[in-house]
Amino acid sequence: MNESQALPLQSNLPNLDVSGLKSIYRQMVLIRRVEELAAKAYTQRKILGFCHLYIGQESVAVGAAAATSDDYWITAYREHGQAMAKGVSARAMMAELFGKRTGSSKGQGGSMHIYDKESKFMGGYGIVGAHVPLATGIAWAAKQRKEGRVCVCFFGDGAANQGAFFEALCLAQLYKLPVVFICENNFYAMGTPLHRQSAVTDMSLRALGVGMAREQFEGFDAEVVRDRVGAAAEFARSGQGPVLLEIITYRHRGHSMSDPAKYRPDGELDEKKKSDPLAITKERLTQDFNVSEEEIQAIHDSVEVEAQDAWDFAESSEIPDPANLYDFTYAPDGS
Amino acid sequence: MALIQIREALRQAMQEEMRRDKDIFLMGEEVAHYNGAYKVSQGMLEEFGEDRVVDTPISEGGFAGLGVGAAMAGMRPIIEFMTWNFSLVAFDQVVNSAAKIYQMSGGQYSIPIVFRGPNGTAENLGSQHSTSVDSLYAHFPGLKVVTYATAYDAKGLLKAAIRDPNPVVFLESEMTYGVKGEVPDEEYVIELGKADIKRAGKDVTLITWGKQLFNVQNAAEQLAAQGIDAEIVDLRSLRPLDHETIFNSVVKTGRCVISHEGFLYAGVGAEIAARIQEACFDVLEAPILRVANRDVPQPYATNLEQLVNPTPERIINTVRQVMER
């Protein structure tokens, strides 16, 4: 019988210095601010359709990006934060949400389908769990071409009930593919709490059936996420096979903009906000790295400028040209 | 010219392309060590090795998705479904992933992938192994849907499908893998989206595709003996559709019968009939009629199956109705 292999106890990533940690903090603040502006734009009907916010989970994407910046990423529909952490600019993101031709997908994708080939961000997907097999293919290509890259695949606790998820785990382990599967367990599959959607609530145990290495940890501290995702990526990169990480997190908003999240028990959100990723990293900066309140404020000020600039850019950009309607159905010959 | 079986023509197409381009690989159930459920990939493992001819678990949704991901990352997968019936558990990957990623990404990621395998009825396989998926996949922009009847077309079209930068649904038939046909010794590729006139005629246009061509050819020969000169248009591609060849033929004959496997209801034949009446209404001498499977899940018993299938006799009777208007 195959036992799950153990991950390295620590990643080989160098320790974060103050500038590295400040950069992580700034990225988390930027994601939150852009998401808050997205919420505002949604209420003004500048952003339409479905819109799923990442507020509360920023440490997962930003911590993971600090460990896998040159690797492939693929994810689901709550992907604004991940897209920005991986390299999509606030401008391109916001313009896509506004449905403009300057958006990351030229207004073809929208909130759930942000892509950026340049930063190896292979997209957000709207069929829950269905993108997980795609991650195995990306890793297949990386392995065949000896790129030394892994594919980091994010999904939620809800997706871990889908057949596509299980099939992907089986294939990845069978072929020893370099995939880091990250189950972001935010405890709700839309409005259904974890214990009502899965008999086993430690989602990392899903790895045992296929003999895959696994780990479960709390992901509110971006430094911890960086270290553990780094360890998993090293494991996968070394050819030992894929890893399933379950990262405990929490979303502060509803499933989407139209969900007031009334299904949460009283007090749960307030309790979880005590482990707000931004507060944790801020405290680390101020207490362990002697970063002053003025420096923290300067980060927030520069984020405010960048986020407002993204809004202005999105608002002033042109809508897609109807003449290009048919240009995105088939790739031209030779491509 | 060489006289070879269709399975060999398909194999040659894959081998020639795989020798040319190292990014191409074949993946599916039993394709490697078993040499293919229908021996299409016989010997390919030996030539290309386990990294390029890859056995999978029984996991169509999983490995179809793996293929799409690999295509995003720059490879050119050929994904074999042991039969297209099994593709229905991978339908989401073909329709929601393969067909839409180029669009969703604003043109950043093309998906050069071929999904191939046998389609339609064989003999006595029961309803779950007898589905024609033509209309299911032809429905979606973003996919190309290609099929063939002859060894020559099989090889030339599969090579074009492998080179295409888009997802191609390639429909084969287990009933005709052993059918032989002439294939040139020199390399050739058949452009996708071009129908082929398999028989020139002046009285009525018979439109068909896939192995149903053989029933239509059989009917046309019997009709010729009765003095009816039918023209046969073999579509070869259901998406894109060769409107020009279809309309030119109907304008010439003024009459049209469409015959295909699968069901009439929301079938590809219905789409073609609609397009012909939009473009050629003024020249039509008779309503366009269709001959396909009868509207029931495929029965097992031989006598019932023959009753369901679109046989030459049913085609002849239908053509006579069209001619007598």
Domains and CATH numbers, chain B: 2-183 (3.40.50.970), 196-324 (3.40.50.920)
Chain B hits for A79, Cβ within 8 Å:
none
Q: pLDDT tens, A245-257?
A: 999 999 999 999 9
Task: Give the three-class secondary structure for A265.
Answer: coil
Decide if A87 contacts A56 (C-beta within 8 A): no
Q: Given a cut of 50, is residue B16 above it in pLDDT? A: yes
What 8-state DSSP symbol labels residue A10?
S
- Do residue B72 and residue A122 have CB atoms under 8 angstroms apart? yes
Flag whether residue B118 sits within 8 Å of chain A, measured between CB atoms. no
CA distances from A55 to A37, A58, B181, B198 (A): 11, 6, 63, 62
Flag whether residue B105 sits within 8 Å of chain A, measured between CB atoms. yes
**Beta strands B2-5; B180-183: pairing state:** antiparallel
Q: Copy the structure tokens of residue B171.
A: 């429909």
CA distance to partner chain B, nearest, from residue A72 (Å): 9
What 8-state DSSP symbol labels residue B99?
T
- Do residue A332 and residue B105 have CB atoms under 8 angstroms apart? no
Q: pLDDT tens, B100-157?
A: 999 999 999 999 999 999 999 999 999 999 999 999 999 999 999 999 999 999 999 9
Q: What is the mean pLDDT of chain A?
A: 96
One-letter identity of residue B166: N
- Do residue A130 and residue B96 have CB atoms under 8 angstroms apart? yes
pLDDT-based confidence at residue A5 (cuts at 50, 70, 90): confident
Q: How far apart are CA A249 and CA B252, in angstroms?
A: 68
- Do residue B69 and residue A328 have CB atoms under 8 angstroms apart? no
Q: Given a cut of 60, is residue A2 above it in pLDDT? A: no
How many CA within 13 A on the CB side of residue A323? Answer: 1
What 8-state DSSP symbol labels residue A328?
G
Percent of chain B with pLDDT strictly greater than 70: 100
Q: What are phi and psi of A86, to 5 degrees?
A: -80, -20
CATH code matching the domain that covers A18-259+291-317, chosen among 3.40.50.300, 3.20.20.150, 3.40.50.970, 3.30.2010.30: 3.40.50.970
What's the whole-number mean pLDDT along residues A146-170?
97
**Residues of B carrying an active site annotation:** 60, 129
Q: Given a cut of 70, is residue A3 above it in pLDDT? A: no
Q: How far apart are CA A167 and CA A56, in angstroms?
A: 30
Decide if A204 contacts A198 (C-beta within 8 A): no
Chain A hits for B101, Cβ within 8 Å:
123
Decide if B272 contacts B240 (C-beta within 8 A): no
Cα end-to-end span (Å), chain A: 46
Q: Given a cut of 80, is residue B266 above it in pLDDT? A: yes
Residues 6+ apart with CB under 8 A from A45: none
Position A130 scores a pLDDT of 98
Position A7 scores a pLDDT of 87
Give residue for tokens 């989206």. B193
**Beta strands B237-239; B144-147: pairing state:** antiparallel
What 8-state DSSP symbol labels residue A41?
H
**Beta strands A72-75; A121-124: pairing state:** parallel
For the full predicted model, state whether its pTM sits above 0.95: yes
Peptide bond into B240 cis (omega under 30): yes
Q: How far apart are CA A151 and CA A143, in angstroms?
A: 10
- Do residue B57 and residue A104 have CB atoms under 8 angstroms apart? no
Chain B residue closest in CA terms to A133: B65
Decide if A184 contacts A249 (C-beta within 8 A): yes
Pick from B92, B101, B107: which is nearest to A327 by CB? B107
Q: How many other C-beta atoms lie within 10 A of the C-beta of residue A9?
A: 7
What 8-state DSSP symbol labels residue B20?
H
Task: Give the three-class secondary structure for A135.
Answer: helix
Chain B hits for A87, Cβ within 8 Å:
none
What's the whole-number mean pLDDT along residues A257-281?
94
Position A197 scores a pLDDT of 94
Query: B233-270 b/e with 16+ CB inside 10 Å = b?
Result: bbbbbbbebbeebbbbbbeebbbbbbbbbbbbeebbbb
Flag whether residue B48 sits within 8 Å of chain A, measured between CB atoms. no
CA distances from B110 to B51, B63, B81 (A): 23, 18, 22
Query: B173-208 b/e with 16+ CB inside 10 Å = b?
Result: bbebbebebebeeeeebbebbebbebbebebbbbbb
Q: How far apart are CA B194 and CA A35, in angstroms?
A: 49
Q: pLDDT tens, B69-115?
A: 999 999 999 999 999 999 999 999 999 999 999 999 999 999 999 99
- Do residue A105 and residue B57 have CB atoms under 8 angstroms apart? no
Q: pLDDT tens, B171-203?
A: 999 999 999 999 999 999 999 999 999 999 999
Position A8 scores a pLDDT of 84
